[in-house]
Amino acid sequence: MLEQFFKLHEHGTTMRTEVLAGLTTFLTMSYIIFVNPDILSSTGMDRGAVFVATCTAAALGSLIMAFLANWPIGMAPGMGLNAFFAFTVVAQMGYSWQQALGAVFISGVIFVILTVTGIREWLVAGIPPSLRSAIAAGIGLFLGIIALGSAGIVVENPATKVGLGNLTEPTTLLAILGFFIITALAALRVRGAILIGILAITVLSMLAGFTEFQGIVDTPPSLAPTFFELDIPGVLNTGFFHIILVFVLVEVFDATGTMIGVATRAGLITPGNPGRLGRALMADSCAIVAGSMLGTSSTTAYVESASGVQAGGRTGLTALVIAILFLLALFLSPLAAVVPPYATAPALLYVACLMLRELVDISWDDITESVPASIAAIAMPLTYSIANGLAFGFISYVVIKALSGRYREIHPATLLVAILFVIKYALFPE
């Protein structure tokens, strides 16, 4: 049955290879089951419910990818947008987490419409490559400052805005150790390096008496505190326009780029033949809507799926294995509940470092490309908002190109996004 449905022979793979590929991908992306609850619970959301929502959304998204697209790509709540959800939309802008979930839901619906109509491909094709790379790098910098703050390495300073924390604090030292463990294991190509680093620091924290051991396996917590708690009317009645715009744009760039990259590496996409990209994009869109109903930020395709492809994964059976493992992870709730912020901070910082490699793809020799890209990347951490970084990048790109007499290089999609952000600042300047 599996052979017939997933066409294993046709893709030159076996059940054993697909299972190992799924396990490999799961180990590289499973850190999200600890990191996402830690981030979203800072908004007041029930940590146990977010844990269940994270695992369930990841499993559901991966199942949709497996059966709809038959691609070896794992899905889970994405890094970056969960931080934007918690630290910008809720903490900085003062909206409720229910309203933020409503914004995620609406962005998912828009995402489905864009995918069905083909506008999604038009948007992706129209955004300058330099700006796309800068957005990824800027999100990395945004995650970096959050990670350093959680670790106690960067603290508030009234004279200089930010300053260096107390590096002799035990928890700060544990965070630093965790980062070195993760990086060293990754350099040695150890599967699940991030997960191992998080668990190692959690265990050390327990041994030091900073956290209390509550067990490893238990029945999953209740999903009720977040299930269908999204506030859609509250979103429609407030200035959520630009927030939804940010969710949509990042979802479009991040997920599309990830899927094309992983699928190309797996040989599922070739020049002139997009394969099942349309179905994969639809799977991604549906997963966002479902995740918002469960109670988590935007679900997206994970670039860590490349590790499974490297291990030989070529079909949706790999994604099916990932989904099953996320469902089994539901029973690890006691362990997830005791993972401290300084254990997940090293994971955030490591992911931030990986995202910064996107900077090499910026056209540094062309000022009209490099300056807007730099502004987008710099603004995200310094304004503590992915939204502002996107806005500054798109607006400056259009203005600089126009004033340089190169207005023909401005794609209508880029111009449209820039105009939307200008309208946002005109109507909602704060």
pLDDT tens track for 186-227: 999 888 889 899 999 999 999 998 988 888 888 999 999 999
In this predicted model, what pLDDT tens digit does every residue of 60-72 receive, in sequence order? Answer: 999 999 999 899 9
Helix (H) or strand (E) holding 116: helix 97-117
Q: By C-alpha distance, which of 170, 164, 168, 169 is closest to 148? A: 164
Residue-averaged pLDDT of the chain? 90
- pLDDT one-digit tens code per residue, 239-275: 788 888 888 888 877 777 788 778 887 888 776 677 7
The identity of residue 164, as a single letter, is L
Calpha distance 166→162 (Å, rounded) = 13
CA distances from 290 to 54, 240, 261, 301 (A): 11, 20, 24, 14
Predicted TM-score (pTM) of this structure: 0.85
Dihedrals phi, psi of 339, to nearest 5 degrees? -70, 115
CA angle 27/29/31 to nearest 5° reads 90
pLDDT at 428 over 90: no
Q: What is the CA radius of gyration of the chain?
A: 21
Per-residue pLDDT at 272:
65
* Four-point Cα dihedral 251, 253, 257, 259, nearest 10: 20
Report the distance separating Cα 36 and Cα 168, nearest Å. 27
Concatenating the DSSP letter of every residue in 30-84 gives: TTHHHHHHHHHGGGT--HHHHHHHHHHHHHHHHHHIIIII-----EEEPTTHHHI
Indicate the domain borders of the chain: 2-350+362-427
Mean per-residue pLDDT, 19-41: 92
What does the pLDDT average to over 306-315?
Answer: 87
pLDDT digits (tens, 9 = 90+) for 295-304: 999 999 898 8
Supply the pLDDT for residue 219: 92
318: which DSSP letter?
H
Counting residues of the chain whose pLDDT is more than 70, the rounded percentage is 98
Q: How far apart are CA 207 and CA 38, in angstroms?
A: 21
Cβ 187 vs Cβ 19: under 8 Å:
no
